[in-house]
Structure formats: structure tokens, C-alpha cells
Amino acid sequence: MSEETIDMNRIPASVAIIMDGNGRWAKRRHFPRIAGHKRGMNVVEEITTEASDLGVKVLTLYAFSTENWKRPEGEVSYIMSLPSTFFNKFIPKLIKNNVRVETIGDITKLPAKTREAVDNAIEDTRNCTGMILNFALNYGSRLEILNATKNIASKVKNGTLNINDIDEDIFSNNLETSGLPDPDLLIRTSGEERISNFLLWQIAYSELVFVDKMWPEYHAEDFKQTIIDFQNRHRRFGGLVNK
């Protein structure tokens, strides 16, 4: 851990994380892949608490992509069972910390028990006014962009939107993240340096940090170091800044 300290006046408002490496972490220890996912949920709790304590406004976690259905059936079934276990344990702490649960992605395609657990978490925390814990579940950014395009095209076709009025704000408002700030910081664990169909529109000006540690071994101190790394960068947004 660096001896540098976090500037509490420059905490990123919105952080997105690709939680990668659960399976590889387990394999290296000769555990079944599901052991990595189980350990990974404990890290979700730890990082959520740390982000909330630091003052992050939105934490978006890539929990299950539209492509993850291609994984072995047993692994998918186990991942789908995790929300029930996780939320039953974590909801009281979320409420205590004033954290509200939201989701992006098509949760209607999730198994009934998984969807029920997610819906209950959203309902139980709906009055919380602190950090938003936003789970990307059955989410894919290309599909999100296609759906936004179709929605806009439909509005143009039925006359409720003029084609010349379409701008970035209109497009953003038709995405599933409408109303949420774009990520200031995108983190991916496990050493992989890919975006993997996650928030492609929204991360246009995000700072990207790729961390070598697997998600199950990424902890609060690592998260704080990532925030320090973010704060050491000069964000230009296409322009110039004075150093």
C-alpha cells in the first residue's frame, strides 16, 4: 500500500468495477470455480462498505453479463443462487449504511428465485438516500445501445421526437443508466485489460485502472490505492489542463 493518502475532496462520484478472476482464483488453489464466486461475494460486501464510507455516490458492479449464460450449467446455477444468500445477509448492513440497490440489465430473464431476491433488495432499500449500489445483471452494453436506438427510432416514427433534436443527452436518457452519472473510474481486476461489453457509451471519458489481483483477493486497502491512482491522473476530457 502506498504511503500516499486519499484526497477526500476528490473522491470519484461514480465507480464501475468488472469483478474478474473468481474462477481463476479458485483454480489456482485447486478449488471448484464456485468457491471463487462465493469468496467474491464477500469482497462485494467489503468494497461496497468501503466505497460508501469514502463517499462514492454510485458503485456499479458487473455481476453477470449476457454472455455469461454460456458458462457451464452448474456454475451458472450457483451464480444465480448467490443473490438470495448475499442479500439475506447484507441487506441490514446496506440499510444501516443508507445504501440503495438498483440494477441494469434484463432481470426478467433471471430465474424466479433470483429475481425475487433482487426485487426484494430493491424494495427493502428504496428509501435509502446514500450511495447507489448498482448491479449489472444479465447486462450487455451492445444490447443496451441497440435497445436505446430502437426506442429513439420509435419516438421519431410516432412523432414524439424530432430527429434533429437527437443529441448525446437524448441518447443517454434512453440507456438503462438514465439518471445516473457516467463512471469517473472503471476498475477491472485479474490483470485482463478488456472492457468486455460493459458500459461502452458511459465510459467514454472514464479513467481505466487494470488491477493484477483477482477479485477474491481485492480488498478495501486495494480499493483505496486504486482511488489514489485515479487521483494522481490529470483528466482532460479532450482538452488541456495545467499541471
The residues with which 137 forms a beta bridge, in sequence order, are: 64
Residue 70's pLDDT is 95
Residuewise pLDDT in 10s, the chain (243 residues): 446 899 999 999 999 999 999 999 999 999 999 999 999 999 999 999 999 999 999 999 999 999 999 999 999 999 999 999 999 999 999 999 999 999 999 999 999 999 999 999 999 999 999 999 999 999 999 999 999 999 999 999 999 999 999 999 999 999 999 999 999 999 999 999 999 999 999 999 999 999 999 999 999 999 999 999 999 998 766 665 554
Contact present, 4 and 174 (Cβ < 8 Å)? no
Nearest-angstrom CA–CA distance, 88 and 117: 8
| Cα 182 off chain centre by | 11
Picking from 98, 145, 162, the residue whose alpha carbon sits closest to that of residue 124 is 98
Catalytic residue among 7, 9, 20, 147: 20
Clarify whether 20 is annotated catalytic.
yes
Domains, the chain: 8-229 (3.40.1180.10)
Sheet strands (E) in the chain = 14-18, 58-65, 100-104, 132-139, 185-188, 207-210
Nearest-angstrom CA–CA distance, 34 and 146: 32
Catalytic residue among 42, 68, 151, 197: 68
Clarify whether 68 is annotated catalytic.
yes
